Amino acid sequence: MSLRIRLLGTFALVTAVMLVPSLFAVSRLAQLRDIAVDGRSGHAAAVSRLGRMQALSTDLDRLERSYVATGDPALGTMASERAAALRGVFREFEASPYGELGSDLGGVIDELVARTGMVDRLVRDRRFAEATEGFEALLPQFGLAREQYRMVADSIDAAAEADLAREK
């Protein structure tokens, strides 16, 4: 065997030995990237739904105030639609990877929607004084919802950070 063949063989062997760890590192980096993308998209979807719930709650609050003040049935219809949408977005949030973090929020939203329905019935029956009292009782529920949104958002961020740290 000539020296040239030995040198080429040795070069090929060294190249192969150097290539194996590089290929392994590339595959691990690809897996880490996939994990990060999946985690980020789950986090983004949960935070997006949470933001949508906050917007719907704020809109519902505004519509309820106007509805109780004016008795306009169109406002009542829009408030009912927002309440149904709020419940629907919460159900979507519940199905997300971070849904279990909003378990307390579900009760708050259910109570908010139920009380909104009660106020709607009172206004439709033209019992405005009672509707006003019902709305005033509803105000702390809106405050509780805002507090829950903040707590859930903080929990989502903490869980996302923990997931990322665990995957590193």
Q: What residue spans define the domains of the chain? A: 42-167
Q: Closest by alpha carbon to 113, among 140, 86, 95, 133?
A: 86
Q: Give the whole-angstrom CA distance, residue 68 versus residue 65.
A: 5
Is 60 exceeded by the pLDDT of residue 14?
A: yes
Most confident of 36-40, 57-61, 102-106: 57-61
The predicted structure's pLDDT at residue 122: 93
Amino acid letter for position 92? E
Q: What pLDDT, in 10s, does the model give residues 42-92?
A: 777 888 899 999 999 999 999 999 999 999 999 999 999 999 999 999 999
In the CATH scheme, what is the code of domain 42-167?
Answer: 1.20.1440
> Considering the chain, what is the average pLDDT of its residues?
86
Q: What is the pTM of this model?
A: 0.73
